[in-house]
Amino acid sequence: MRRLLIAVVAALASAVAVVALPAAASAAWCGGTAESATDRPDTVAALSWHVIYAYPTDAPDRFPQVVGAMTDDLTAIDTWWRAQDPTRALRWDLADFPGCAGGVAALDLSAVKLAHDANWFRGGGDRWGRVRDDLVAAGFGDADKKMLVYFDGPLDLPLRECGIAHTGSPATGGGESYAIVYLGTGCGNGLGAATFPAVAAVHELVHSLNALDQPRSGARPPNACRNDAGHPCDSPNDLMYPFSIGGAGLASKVLDFNHDDYYAHSGPWWDVQDSLFLDHVDSADHAAPGLAQALSARTNSPGMVELTWQAATDDGGAVSYEVYRDGVQVTVASTIGYSESLPDGATRTYAVRTRDGVGHLGPAVTLRYTGGLGIVDATGVLLKDTVAPGPVPGVRGKVAGKVFTLSWAAAIDAGGIAGYRVYRDGKLVTTARNGASITFPASRAGGTWAVRPFDRAGNLGALSVSITVASPKPARTA
């Protein structure tokens, strides 16, 4: 967990209550003073940053008074970032406001009353986790979005931090990707003026993009602080310096002093410039990837489900695949397939969404699957049997006179067994559709035999354990 500490000046030290912020919106946010406690429909199909104003259940809702100042700071942050690196821009979660020109003015800003009162968020311990948990429970856990939260509630004195973020999840959003800025007890002084609150916001945002990365071995950021490896100590003007003077302006900050620790560096460790939550302005890839077509699921081994789909295409090259189970992202795969355990009778909804190399997202494709049964509809009715039969429990071979009989115990399948494929020395020799035995001339008995069941939907079960039968000895003649 990374925090921005504040070097307290006299004016700030004397502030012991929630500071008075501008009484009216000063920026042209296209939402006006309209509040939404949910994430509005997306207008950008890409990994992005969602902004939230959050307050304890017993605190006043000051969203109409602060939204303009928040938007002013976010506009300043956006402009500052583009000046620091013209090839990148912060990719914001935007809303479709009628008549809005777009950009930061179209930010999808949510205003959320948290489930707990101010005392719940006081004191030491995991305040970050408490705020995060309330917001995830309110529906803000989208794995394709990182969250920048302005928490408007009182803090404890002595004041030690004005922001906090979780590092270690550079490629995904959701519950582990919250950057929180505090507005209460002095931290909000200067909101809207591109001073300390703006510095705190972008500082924590960059932490959430995994700065400074600390590999377990090998080369590391050379200027990491001796006792605080998450911050660089080579220049107080560096955005990620561990503390900042309360009145410091965003214009005085640099996105990685000398570019050797966390941004646009030449080292082998993670570089924030590569983040897919940034718009790669210099990329020729401007389109979303195609669908993961022909999504299917099947059970080839008891207690497992295997998802497969066709490779998608993209104008910029490689595509990866976000896999969801019941709305929760479980992996981002580079190959066309995913498997996990699934007990018989359990039903899950699976979805696959494509992602290209610069963070654009394709539409999701979805199916429902019941273990031991197959692909089902919303009511659980079987649409397609994709479950392989269970294995043949055992195979026996017997030579009697001139006849060789191969027999086996019946396999089990919910949709019914249609027959068995019979193999000798690894080659298919016949298919038995009736019963669980078959006969051959005794002269063909010699070899290694195995049986493989198939069901009425054509699903093949696993090969049985093989048996080896000796060739019968020729009959003696007088």
CATH superfamily of 296-384: Immunoglobulins (2.60.40.10)
Q: Is the dihedral of CA 114, 119, 122, 127 positive or negative?
A: negative
Q: Is the dihedral of CA 110, 111, 113, 118 positive or negative?
A: positive
As a whole number of angstroms, the distance between CA 148 and CA 181 comes to: 8
Q: Which CATH class is domain 2-279?
A: alpha beta
Angle at Cα 74 formed by Cα 109 and Cα 233, nearest 5°? 125
What is the torsion angle, in degrees rounded to the nearest 10, for the CA atoms of residue 176, residue 201, residue 20 and residue 111? -40
CATH of segment(s) 395-469: 2.60.40.10
As a whole number of angstroms, the distance between CA 30 and CA 155 comes to: 31
**Burial (CB count <10 Å: 0-12, 13-18, 19+), residue 268:** exposed
Nearest of 175, 172, 180, 170 to residue 148 by alpha carbon: 180
Count other C-beta atoms under 10 Å from residue 302's C-beta.
14
Which segments of 330-418 does DSSP mark as H helices, in order?
A: none
Query: What integer pLDDT is reported at residue 2 of this predicted model?
Result: 59
Query: What integer pLDDT is reported at residue 167 of this predicted model?
Result: 87
Mean pLDDT by 10 residues, the chain (478 residues): 47 27 55 92 94 97 95 97 97 95 94 96 85 97 97 80 87 93 88 94 96 90 94 96 81 97 97 96 92 93 93 90 96 95 96 96 96 94 93 94 95 91 97 92 95 94 94 71
- Indicate where the chain has its CATH 3.40.390 domain(s): 2-279
Contact 397, 308 (CB under 8 A): no
Q: What residue has token string 């950057």? A: 179
Structure tokens at 213: 């990365």
- Indicate where the chain has its CATH 2.60.40.10 domain(s): 296-384, 395-469
Element spanning 136, H or E: helix 127-137
